[in-house]
A and B are shown apart, each in its own frame.
Chain A
C-alpha cells in the first residue's frame, strides 16, 4: 500500500528501572556521578557536590560485586510492595549502594551480614509499547546462602 505512510517501526526494548543502572554497555552495572574535585559519588541528578560544593561531575562505573554491610527483612511495606523482602546496604569496592537482596530467601538464616553479593537484574514488567523495565538487586555469590540457580 504505497500511498499509506507506514508507522515508524519501533522495536520494543528495555529500559532501566532507574537511570543509574546501565544495561547497554557490557555487563549490567551501576553508574555513579563522581565529583571531579573530591571524588564523592552520587546516584541522583546533581546540582553540586554535597561534600566539596564542586559543580563538575564525571561518571564512574561501579564494581558489580561487593559485601553486604547491613540489611533488614521488611515484613510490612507500602501497598504494592511484595513482602517479605530483604533490603540491604552493599559496599561495592568502597562505594555504598542500596538494593534488595534477591535470589535468596528473606530470612536471617540465609541473609548474613558480611556476605558477598553481586549485582543481578530482573524484569519488573512491560508497558503498553512492549518495553520491558529492568531493575537490579544483589544476589549472594555463594549459592549456599541463597537459592539462585
Chain B
C-alpha cells in the first residue's frame, strides 16, 4: 500500500464502563458515536458506512441511527462473539480500503451488568418422558456439566491449565498475580468499571468460579459502548493539521478464524488463530513485538492472558510464565500489557471491547492518557478473541502527520 492508501482513526471514544441503569443500548451507543464524531471534528453526514455490533441485546445500527442521524448510508450489523467490536472496525477498514467510502463509523455496545455465567448450557426439558437422543451428539440430556464444561470461566481455565501442562510453572498463584497486575493498572483508569487495587491474598481468597479462576480473575460483566470514526489517508490530508496530528494510523487490521487442528472441536483452540493474526499483523505493519510500547490483549480470564503473551509473540515460545515473572507486562515493564485494567477490571461489555481496546491504545499514542500515559508511546497492539472462534488484531501508530 502506498502511504496515501493508509487508513486512520480520526475520532474515537469509549463511554465509562460500569453499571448504567438509566441508559439503554441505544443511549450508550449514541453517547459513544456523538463523542467519537466530535473527537474527529466531523458529523454523521460525513460518514459513508456504519458497522455496528451488539451481541447480547441484538440492537441494530439502524435503531441507533434513528437517534443520531438517519443519513441512508449502508449499515452492517456484525456479530462475532467477543470479537464483535474488532469485526465492526475491520468492516469499516475494508469498506475504506475498497475505495467505496472515505469515512466510516464502527460501533460496539453492550448492556451486561448483572449477567451471570456466559456459555453455560443449562437444563433442557424434553417433551417426552423417555430418553430421546437429540442434536449432533445424539445426547439424551444437556452436555454442559455432564461431559466437561461449556461455561466460559471453565473453558478458559482449561486453556490456561493446558499451557501450564505443556510448559510448566503456571500455578493458581501465577494466574492470580496476572489479575493483581490488571486490577492495579485500573486504578489509573477513570473509565474502568472497577478501579480498586486488589492484593494477591484478596484475589486468591475470593469466590472460586472455575479453578484456577476466582471472581476477580474473570472479566467483569458491565455496560458500555465505544465508537470510532475511520478515514482514508487521502481524505485525512484534506482535513486540518490538528486533525491530521491527532489521527492514529491503523498499520494493521487482521481478522482470523480458527483453523482445524486435532482437539480444536473438543476444547476451543484460541492459540493458533491468535498467532496467525499476530503474524499477519506484524507483517502488514512492518513492526515486531519488540517495537510495541503497549498491548491491550483479551484477558477475559487471568488464565487467558498468560497464553496470549505467547500467542502474540511478546515472549519466546513457551516463555509466557518467565515473561510475566520478569515484570515485563506491568505498566513499568518492557511491554506493558492491559494498562487500562483489561477485561478483568476495566470490564467487558462484549461488543464494545474490540473498539474500547483500540481507544486505549490510541489514547496513549496521542499522548492524552493522563495519569496512566505510557510516555513516548508510538506503536501499540489491540487484540480480541471471540470464542467459536474469531481473533482481531489491530496495530496502531502515531500518524506522523500534521507536524
Interface residues of A (CB under 8 A from B): 15-20, 40-45, 50-51, 69-82, 85, 87-89, 94-100, 108, 113-114, 124, 127-129, 131, 133, 135-136
Among all A-B residue pairs, the 8 with the closest Cβ atoms: A19-B138, A81-B145, A80-B123, A72-B157, A96-B263, A98-B148, A73-B211, A78-B120
Residue among B146, B164, B172, B267 with max Cβ neighbours from chain A (10 Å)? B146
Q: Which residue of A lies closest to B166 (CB)?
A: A69
Nearest chain A residue, comparing its CB with the CB of B143: A18
Residues of A near B161 (CB, < 8 A) are 70-72, 113
Contacts A77-B145, A98-B147, A100-B146; A114 near B165 (Cβ below 8 A)? yes
- Interface hit among B60-68, B127-135, B226-234, B310-318: B127-135
Cβ–Cβ contact A108 & B211, under 8 A: yes
* CB pair A98 B266 closer than 8 Å: yes
Residues on B facing A (Cβ under 8 Å)? 117, 120-123, 129-131, 133, 136-149, 151, 153-154, 157-159, 161-162, 164-165, 172, 207-213, 260, 262-263, 265-267
Q: Contacts A44-B136, A80-B122 hold; do A89 and B151 have CB atoms under 8 A apart?
A: no
Cross-chain pairs A/B with CB under 8 angstroms, 28 sampled = A19-B137, A40-B262, A43-B266, A44-B137, A45-B136, A45-B138, A69-B162, A70-B159, A70-B162, A71-B158, A72-B153, A72-B161, A73-B208, A73-B210, A75-B209, A78-B144, A78-B145, A79-B123, A80-B123, A80-B145, A85-B145, A88-B148, A98-B267, A124-B140, A124-B141, A127-B129, A131-B130, A131-B131
Query: Contact: A72 with B146, CB < 8 Å?
Result: no
Chain A hits for B159, CB < 8 A: 70
Residues of A near B121 (CB, < 8 A) are 78
CA distance A72 to B102 in the complex (A): 48
A15 → chain B closest CB, angstroms: 5
A18 touching B147, Cβ below 8 Å: yes
Interface centre among B129, B148, B153, B211 (most CB of A within 10 A): B148
Q: When chains A and B are docked, how far (Å) is the Cα of A80 from the Cα of B142?
A: 10
Residues of A within 8 A of B262 (CB): 40-41, 94-96
B272 to chain A, nearest CB (A): 13
- The distance from the CB of B390 to the nearest CB of chain A, in whole angstroms, is 16
Chain A hits for B162, CB < 8 A: 69-70, 89
Q: Are B153 and A76 closer than 8 Å at their CB atoms?
A: yes
Of A41, A45, A69, A72, the contact of B165 (CB 8 Å cutoff): A69
Query: Do B137 and A89 touch (CB < 8 A)?
Result: no
Contact of B158 among A19, A45, A70, A77 (CB under 8 A): A70
In the assembled complex, which residues on chain A have CB atoms less than 8 Å from the CB atom of B207?
75
Contact across chains for A133 and B140 when beta carbons are under 8 A apart: yes
> Which residue from chain B places its CB closest to the CB of A39 in the assembled complex?
B262
Q: A75-B208, A89-B266 are in contact. List 5 more A-B contacts (CB 8 A).
A: A70-B161, A74-B151, A74-B154, A89-B158, A135-B146
Query: Which residue of B is nearest A126, CB measured?
Result: B131
CB distance from A81 to the nearest CB of B (A): 3
A15-B133, A70-B161, A73-B211 as given contacts; A100 in contact with B260, CB under 8 Å: no
Q: Provide the bound-state CA to CA distance between A127 and B263, in Å.
A: 33
Interfacial chain B residues near A85, Cβ < 8 Å: 145
Contacts of A77 in B (CB 8 A): 117, 120, 144-145, 149, 151
Are B140 and A15 closer than 8 Å at their CB atoms?
Answer: yes
Q: How far is B131's CA from A135's CA once the two chains are assembled, in angstroms? A: 13
Q: Is the CB of B211 within 8 A of A72?
A: yes
Query: How far is B123's CA from A82's CA once the two chains are assembled, in angstroms?
Result: 12
Taking a contact as CB atoms under 8 Å apart, the answer to whether B263 and A89 are in contact is yes
B158–A76 contact, CB under 8 A?
Answer: no
In the complex, A98 Cα to B123 Cα: how many Å? 19
